[in-house]
Amino acid sequence: MVKFISSTFAVIAFIAVANAQAMTGYPKINEIPDVNSPEVQAWLKEIDLTGAPEIPLHKGAPPACPNPPIPNECYWTCDGCAAEDITKCAAPNTWGLTFDDGPSVATPSLLDYLKTQKVSATFFLIGSNVVQYPATVKREIAEGHHLASHTWSHHALTTLTNQQIVAEMKWTEKAVLEATGLRLKYMRPPYGDINNRVRFVLKKLGYIPVDWTGDEFDTKDWEMPGTPIETVVSHFKTSITAYVAGPKTNGFYCLEHDANPMEVAAAKELIPIGQANKVNIANVAQCESDPVGYQPGGTATPPPVGGNSTTVGPQPTGGAQKPGPGNTGSNNATTGPTVGVPKAAAATLTTKVGAISALAMAVAAALFA
């Protein structure tokens, strides 16, 4: 009987802890949020969307290129027009390391690896995943990485209304704010799908779009397993060889992902290639010499953007990060500032753990009484 009660208690405790991991009060996972909800209506009242370019919504997931092209649309996906989007890391000889579509079950393994290499990345987070894995998002910040938005549901933004774009961005912003106390500033449009109408709305919300540096720096890791990892690696080797043979005046941004173990495995193959080519590795805030990396209005003080990276700030050409084994080893050797979980997030976590402990003790007392 005692054994049964103990097992029951263990199950109850496990469920309590599991539920504590997920965040509640958010829209359905991976669906476009309802624009008529009180939250979205309140957000819409905060911004003025009058004057938004009247460009027809595209259709498809992701959409096909319009034929004939729409004048003055500046559609990056189809015509390469980037307007004021960031497409290159501003620091010379620098790889702007970014991962899209997380957090996922595969992300902790990537974080373990990045820690050994002492490099800091920007994670373009999907809001639907943030609410499922908030502890991983907290860990990203604690380990010196930089966070940015990749929308709530990963739909192509040119297919959504202006109001839906606001909902996608603000729900994700709210989720990361609740998890970390930080208010996101940079974003990457899913599929690189962005035109002047989408840019208008993003700018009203204070977001800076970050695309990537063209097809040669799309690692195509998302094509696996249809495309073998060897092809992903050789494609990247070709791209980086061409880059280091050039002037290296600007750095570059790659398209990489941390949505599954295959993509994380690819990242572990690609990063050493960059290091062997003596290219600095930095996150978006470092690339753009942005000392904060977040919008004002958060509840926590933004941590230094360098974190545990050996490349604390953009380096001049030739100032390459030490490649190979020199970068492995204890994290105590970091030259960057130590970054902890923001106080607000840590306090919330402590409160939740405390509440669960109290609940568990109360349940145990009741069962054994």
Choose, by CB under 5 A, the member of 96, 102, 127, 190 that binds Zn ion: 190
Q: Contact region for Zn ion (CB under 5 A) — 64-72, 98-106, 109-117, 302-310?
A: 98-106
143 vs 218, beta carbon nearer Zn ion:
218
Of the residues 58, 235, 257, 258, only one is catalytic, namely 257
DSSP character for 194?
A: -
* Count of residues interacting with Zn ion (CB under 5 A): 3
73 vs 101, beta carbon nearer Zn ion:
101
DSSP lists the bridge partners of residue 125 as 149
Residue 282: φ, ψ to 5° = -150, 160
Choose, by CB under 5 A, the member of 90, 95, 98, 101 that binds Zn ion: 101
Neighbouring C-alpha atoms within 13 Å toward the C-beta of 96 = 31
190 vs 336, beta carbon nearer Zn ion:
190
Residue least distant from Zn ion (Cβ)? 100
CB 172 within 8 Å of CB 151: yes
Smallest separation, CB 188 to Zn ion (Å): 7
Q: How far apart are the C-alpha atoms of 232 and 263, rounded to whole Å?
A: 10
Please say if 235 is a catalytic residue.
no
- DSSP-assigned letters across all residues of 305-347: TTTT-S--S---TT-PPPPGGGG-S-GGG-SSPP----HHHHH
Choose, by CB under 5 A, the member of 100, 140, 178, 218 that binds Zn ion: 100
Instruction: Decide: is 33 part of the binding site for Zn ion (CB under 5 A).
Output: no
- DSSP-assigned letters across all residues of 203-254: HHTT-EEB--S-GGGB--GGGTTTS-HHHHHHHHHHHHHHHHTS---S-EE-
Q: How far apart are the C-alpha atoms of 202 and 23, rounded to whole Å?
A: 25
Q: Contact region for Zn ion (CB under 5 A) — 31-39, 97-105, 109-117, 155-163?
A: 97-105
Smallest separation, CB 104 to Zn ion (Å): 12
Instruction: Decide: is 258 part of the binding site for Zn ion (CB under 5 A).
Output: no
115 vs 257, beta carbon nearer Zn ion:
257
Q: How far apart are the C-alpha atoms of 295 and 226, rounded to whole Å?
A: 39
Q: How far is CA 63 from the centre of its chain?
A: 23
Smallest separation, CB 137 to Zn ion (Å): 16
Number of residues that this document lists for the chain: 369
Q: How far apart are the C-alpha atoms of 10 and 86, rounded to whole Å?
A: 50
Instruction: Decide: is 218 part of the binding site for Zn ion (CB under 5 A).
Output: no
Instruction: Decide: is 256 part of the binding site for Zn ion (CB under 5 A).
Output: no
Instruction: Decide: is 181 part of the binding site for Zn ion (CB under 5 A).
Output: no
Which has the closest alpha carbon to 254: 19, 146, 94, 137?
94
Instruction: Decide: is 192 part of the binding site for Zn ion (CB under 5 A).
Output: no
195 vs 348, beta carbon nearer Zn ion:
195
Of the residues 58, 85, 100, 101, only one is catalytic, namely 100
User: Of residues 131-150, which lie at the interface with Zn ion (CB under 5 A)?
Assistant: none
Q: Contact region for Zn ion (CB under 5 A) — 8-16, 183-191, 310-318, 348-356?
A: 183-191
The site for Zn ion (CB under 5 A) is made up of 100-101, 190
Active site members: 100, 257
